[in-house]
Structure 1
């Protein structure tokens, strides 16, 4: 007797399915491979620990001891943020255990990395938001253009104009602070 072809699950589609439903099994498989019994810890990290901590940390893995009690959560953070995260470890452990529903995590370890690290542990830390550009005095801008106009190369001329604006603005700011 030939083998039966695999049958499709018998279910009715009711419009669009949420993306989380489509990815649920894959997320669970990846999470379990790294020791995360509760995938919510990975997918909703910002909700579990708060926006501030989530911006500075990423959960990497959960390691279980020999007896299965007292798991260790490993977090990834940038080196400069590590001391601040270290001070908040009891709060992180408390919030993660609240996510699990019992005292699953007994210890939290910190792994420090640079923003561009190993392929496995690359952190998605973004740069700080840029400050809006300062408005320069038109007289300073005109003087910077006059200073750099002898240069033929356009890119170099633009860089020299910007440098001249910065130097002249700084000099003007120092003069104002000395008077005041």
Structure 2
């Protein structure tokens, strides 16, 4: 829970969208910084427990396993994959200290990867007058997430995006895989 934040964050200002990408990367890597009690509570969702059958909404179980293996290689097997943020400009706010905060993240789930959020960032970067290429979004995201402890290579991230699309039947990655 956070206090009400009424100050919108202008992600269209210089560096604003990159700040949003960094905030998303911070959320995706949060499990690496959890206190032990939280990590223990969330252990059932660790990547090391992915020998379970693929969820019912997955179309290609082999691609899903490949995605989870790539994610484990980048984050470690104890990683809890957080994702599924409700990303849009209206959900970006400024905290009193001036930092960007994301609100309305009730859809955050510990059973998917952050890749849907990366795909959404690529989409947002091409809408509402923004001018950041999907490739640039991927590069900024990879730099930010690796600065926070992940080990994604560009090829590994592109392979994970392809595996996600194969696993889910997603028709468009909004150019972030190129």
TM-score, scaled relative to structure 1: 0.23
Q: Which has the higher contact order (CA 8 A, sep 6+)?
A: 2
Higher normalized strand content (fraction of residues) = 1
